[in-house]
C-alpha cells in the first residue's frame, strides 16, 4: 500500500489511517444528510468499523465535525501560504488566493458542503471557527490588501479588513451557489469574475 504518499508525517500508522477513514466517512455522511440528521452509526458503517470504535478516536460526534473543519482549514492554509508567499505582486497574490479557495472546494464537493452548510448551521460552530481558522484565512487576505495599500496599488479609503471580508463574502457566495446548483459547472473559473469586480468595480470605464 502506498498510502504513505498522502502524509509523510504519519506513515503506515494504523491510528492515523482509521482516524482518516472516520473523518472521510463523516464528511460524506454529513454532506449527504446534514450533521444533525447523521447518526454516528452511519459514519461507522461508512467507515467500515464498529460504532464503538468511533469513540476510540473522537470524544464525540461534535468533535468529528470540529476535526473536519480544523484539519481542512489547516491543510488549506498551510498549503496556500506556501504558494502565496512566493508571489510578488499583491494583485497576483489575491488572484492566487481566490483561485485556491475555489479550486480546493470545487475539487471536493462533500467537503465543500460541510464547509458551506454544516459549518454555518450553528452560531457555536461559527464562533469557534471564525475565531480560529477563518480568522487566519481572513488575515492573509487582509495583510495582502494592506500591503497593496502601502504600495499605493490599492485605495486607502477603506479598512483592509473590510475589503477582505468583501472578497471572502463574494467567493463564499460563489461556492454556496455552486453547491446548490445541481448540474454543476466548474467552480474555479468564477474566481476571475469575482476579481474583475473586486479589482475594477462594476462601472463602465
Residues 196, 198, 200, 204, CA torsion sign = positive
Q: Which of residues 8-47 bind DNA (CB under 7 A)?
A: 14-15, 18, 37-41
How far apart, in whole angstroms, are the C-alpha atoms of residue 151 and residue 58? 47
185 binds a second copy (CB under 8 A): no
- Applying CB under 7 A, the span of 54-62, 78-86, 161-169, 180-188 interacting with DNA comes to 54-62
198 binds a second copy (CB under 8 A): yes
CB of 26 to DNA, least distance (A): 11
CB of 115 to DNA, least distance (A): 21
Does an H or E element contain 16, and which?
Answer: helix 14-33
- Supply 9's cell numbers: 508525517
How far apart, in whole angstroms, are the C-alpha atoms of residue 152 and residue 174? 29
92 binds a second copy (CB under 8 A): no
CB of 41 to DNA, least distance (A): 6
CB of 16 to DNA, least distance (A): 10
Question: Which residues 6+ apart lie within 8 Å of 5 measured at CB?
Answer: none
Q: Which of residues 117-146 bind DNA (CB under 7 A)?
A: none
List the x/- string, 59-88, binding to DNA by CB under 7 A.
-xxx--------------------------
152-172 burial, b at 16+ Cβ within 10 Å, e below that, comes to eebeeeeebeebbebbbebbb
Q: Count of CB atoms within 10 A of residue 65's CB?
A: 23
- Supply 87's cell numbers: 508571489
Residues that bind a second copy (CB under 8 A): 31, 34-36, 113, 116-118, 120-124, 126-127, 130, 145, 148, 152-159, 162-163, 165-166, 168-174, 176-177, 179-180, 190, 193-194, 196-205
Amino acid at each position: 500500500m502506498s498510502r504513505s504518499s498522502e502524509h509523510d508525517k504519519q506513515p503506515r500508522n494504523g491510528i492515523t489511517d482509521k482516524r482518516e477513514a472516520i473523518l472521510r466517512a463523516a464528511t460524506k455522511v454529513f454532506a449527504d444528510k446534514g450533521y444533525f440528521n447523521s447518526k454516528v452509526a452511519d459514519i461507522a458503517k461508512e467507515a467500515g468499523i464498529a460504532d464503538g470504535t468511533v469513540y476510540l478516536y473522537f470524544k464525540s460526534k461534535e468533535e468529528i465535525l470540529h476535526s473536519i473543519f480544523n484539519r481542512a482549514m489547516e491543510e488549506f492554509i498551510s498549503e496556500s501560504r506556501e504558494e502565496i508567499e512566493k508571489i510578488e505582486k499583491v494583485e497576483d497574490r489575491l488572484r492566487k488566493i481566490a483561485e485556491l479557495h475555489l479550486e480546493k472546494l470545487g475539487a471536493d464537493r462533500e467537503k465543500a458542503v460541510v464547509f458551506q452548510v454544516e459549518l454555518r448551521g450553528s452560531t457555536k460552530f461559527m464562533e469557534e471557527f471564525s475565531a480560529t481558522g477563518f480568522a487566519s484565512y481572513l488575515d492573509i487576505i487582509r495583510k495582502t490588501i494592506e500591503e497593496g495599500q502601502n504600495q499605493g496599488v490599492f485605495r486607502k479609503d477603506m479598512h483592509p479588513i473590510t475589503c477582505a471580508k468583501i472578497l471572502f463574502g463574494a467567493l463564499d457566495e460563489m461556492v454556496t451557489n455552486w453547491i446548490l446548483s445541481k448540474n454543476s459547472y466548474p467552480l474555479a473559473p468564477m474566481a476571475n469574475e469575482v476579481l474583475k469586480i473586486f479589482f475594477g468595480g462594476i462601472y463602465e470605464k
